[in-house]
């Protein structure tokens, strides 16, 4: 039976150790070869993706060339720029793979705006990490050059810049995404969490923030009436006691079980926790399942329902 599926791509599906455009497009070509398995299965696919490394790198480029004649663009515009750029790469890769397989479908990338609350406490507490990882010495140098930056340690992997990350309230282009899916196209939207906009007076204005792509993807799945939310990351399963002798892969788990694991601080804040929380939010709102698994396990999920499957009860 055909399903409408929102697939949220993690950074490993886009960026490897080589941040060049050519390398990222080659990575996305392999990603597309995996994603097309949903299309071959008869599913209606909607794609979402992150942009943390890319928008951080773009901000560095903007800062390095900033001048009166060539002023740096604000963060909200950089989010839109990377959303468009990565969306173009995914669109190109998906269309190339589908054409090679004789699949008569097209994908389309949308620059997506997401409404947030201008008074969200997140604006006063930057937590979303962007850009490349830095050593302590590099982080200290960056902070000295940019005193207004907030730089934090990111899950023991190094230091990165942190920016505000408000919660998404409404996807302004959700109807357009749904219309495209209904017409048999593959929409690519809420890239990088979407461009954060807030109501100010009579108009919506861009906010300098990066919405977490996991929360944005869950909101997208709710608003487009998806049958499942699938978050693709670096591991086949979510683990408890990760890295310890008694680590355990979670396979079929309920929302109450996952909430108990959250209370036990089983999931790192900078990596797995938002994926789990977004999955719980989607399941509670819809009653449908959410899945967290690896890009390379798509075939396993479709065949054996493997991965971490989260259900309401």
- Please tell me the distance from the alpha carbon of residue 42 to that of residue 225, in angstroms, as a whole number: 17
Residue 107, C-beta contacts closer than 8 angstroms, at least 6 positions apart: 47, 90, 91, 94, 95, 98, 185, 186, 187, 188
- Please tell me the distance from the alpha carbon of residue 14 to that of residue 23, in angstroms, as a whole number: 9
Active site residues: 11-12, 128, 213, 275
Kindly state the DSSP code that residue 242 receives in the 8-state scheme.
T
Strand-pairing partners, residue 164, are none
Residue 276, C-beta contacts closer than 8 angstroms, at least 6 positions apart: 238, 258, 261, 262, 267, 292, 310
- Please tell me the distance from the alpha carbon of residue 194 to that of residue 209, in angstroms, as a whole number: 10
Instruction: State which H helix or E strand residue 197 sits in.
Output: strand 195-200
């Amino acid at each position: 039976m055909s399903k409408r599926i929102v697939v949220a791509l993690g950074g490993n599906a886009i960026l490897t150790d080589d941040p060049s455009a050519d390398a990222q497009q080659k990575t996305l070509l392999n990603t597309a070869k995996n994603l097309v398995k949903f299309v071959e299965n008869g599913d209606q696919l909607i794609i979402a993706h992150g942009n943390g490394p890319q928008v951080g790198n773009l901000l560095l480029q903007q800062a390095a060339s900033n001048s009166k004649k060539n002023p740096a663009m604000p963060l909200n515009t950089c989010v839109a720029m990377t959303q468009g750029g990565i969306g173009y790469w995914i669109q190109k890769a998906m269309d190339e793979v589908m054409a090679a397989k004789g699949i008569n479908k097209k994908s389309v990338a949308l620059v997506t705006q997401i409404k947030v609350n201008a008074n969200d406490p997140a604006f006063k507490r930057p937590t979303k990490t962007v850009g490349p990882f830095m050593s302590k010495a590099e982080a200290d140098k960056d902070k000295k050059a940019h005193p207004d930056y907030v730089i934090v340690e990111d899950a023991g992997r190094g230091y990165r810049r942190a920016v505000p990350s408000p919660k998404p309230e409404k996807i302004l282009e959700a109807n357009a995404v749904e219309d495209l899916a209904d017409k048999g196209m593959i929409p690519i939207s809420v890239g990088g969490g979407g461009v954060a906009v807030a109501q100010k007076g009579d108009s919506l204005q861009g906010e300098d923030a990066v919405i977490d792509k996991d929360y944005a993807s869950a909101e997208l799945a709710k608003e487009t009436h998806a049958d499942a939310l699938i978050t693709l990351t670096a591991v086949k399963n979510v683990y408890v006691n990760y890295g310890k002798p008694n680590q355990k892969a979670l396979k079929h788990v309920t929302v109450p079980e996952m909430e108990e694991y959250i209370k036990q601080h089983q999931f790192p804040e900078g990596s797995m926790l938002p994926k789990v929380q977004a999955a719980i939010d989607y399941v509670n709102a819809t009653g449908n399942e959410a899945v967290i698994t690896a890009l390379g396990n798509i075939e396993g999920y479709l065949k054996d329902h493997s991965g971490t499957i989260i259900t309401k009860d």
